[in-house]
Structure 1
Amino acid sequence: MKRPWIQAATVCLLASGPTLASTDKAWEEFRASVEEACSDLVQSSDGALVSLDIAPFGSESYGAALLSIKPSGGEAERVICIYDKKTRAAELTGGF
């Protein structure tokens, strides 16, 4: 005798796996990691104002942050920081 409810329950458990692993604390740690990695890449001059706006969850594979760098007496430049969730490596785009 087949038990279709067991198969259905298994599918539901497997499908909910990533959701169960993404706790509020895990997302806070993710954002802190993105902030640290991206901030380390910024070569700001003395007196420059740097603001970081992190995408709260990123994509499936990457985190992203918009950085605005405003040198003292100069115009602000915006760059995007791309953060690899697997390797935890970050890199900056050119300014725009």
Structure 2
Amino acid sequence: MSFHNRSALVALLAAGLLPSVAAASSDDAWAAMRTDVSAKCLKAAAGSIEKPRAVVDPFGSESFGLALVSGKPKGAKGKITQICVYNKQTKTVELGGELTEQMLKTPAK
């Protein structure tokens, strides 16, 4: 096999591997973002929810990571849920207000 043919074959094989490497990197990046969203949302909710549990939207929106954080409100009975918004650029979070189980079950008017 000539040097030119070998070079072409190596280039072709490398090009074929690039999409799988990019996909793995992208999957790793999404997983890292979800882990960060969960950790920061749980930390933010720890002041108002005992043993909070986060359910993270796998991809969020274009600009924001999103999660629902739920659990027993500190010093009260029942269960509350808060919407947690994670800014993908600044990597900071904000929590929405406390939504009770009744609020989540009542149909919108």
TM-score of the two chains, using structure 2 as the length reference: 0.61
| Cα root mean square deviation, aligned | 2.0
Flag structure 1 segments of 5+ consecutive residues without an equivalent.
1-19
Q: Deviations over 1:8-62 (max 9, x none)?
A: xxxxxxxxxxxx58711001000011011111111146xx332110000000000
Flag structure 2 segments of 5+ consecutive residues without an equivalent.
1-21, 100-109
What secondary structure, in the 3-state scheme, does the structure 2 residue paired with 1:23 have? helix
After superposing on structure 2, the runs of 4+ consecutive aligned residues of structure 1 that deviate more than 3 Å are: none
Quote the residue 1:65 is aligned against.
67
C-alpha contact 2:68 2:84 (8 A) present in aligned 1: yes
Quote the residue 1:4 is aligned against.
none
What secondary structure, in the 3-state scheme, does the structure 2 residue paired with 1:78 have? strand
Quote the residue 2:91 is aligned against.
88
- Relative CO higher for 1 or 2, CA cutoff 8 Å, sep ≥ 6? 1
Query: How many residues are aligned here?
Result: 75
C-alpha contact 1:49 1:71 (8 A) present in aligned 2: no
Counterpart-to-counterpart distance in 2, 1:25 and 1:63: 15
- Equivalent positions of 1:16-95 (< 5 A) are 23-42=26-45, 43-44=47-48, 48-71=50-73, 74-95=77-98
Q: Deviations over 1:57-93 (max 9, x none)?
A: 0000000000112148710011000000000010100
C-alpha contact 2:42 2:53 (8 A) present in aligned 1: no
**Structure that is richer in helix per residue:** 2
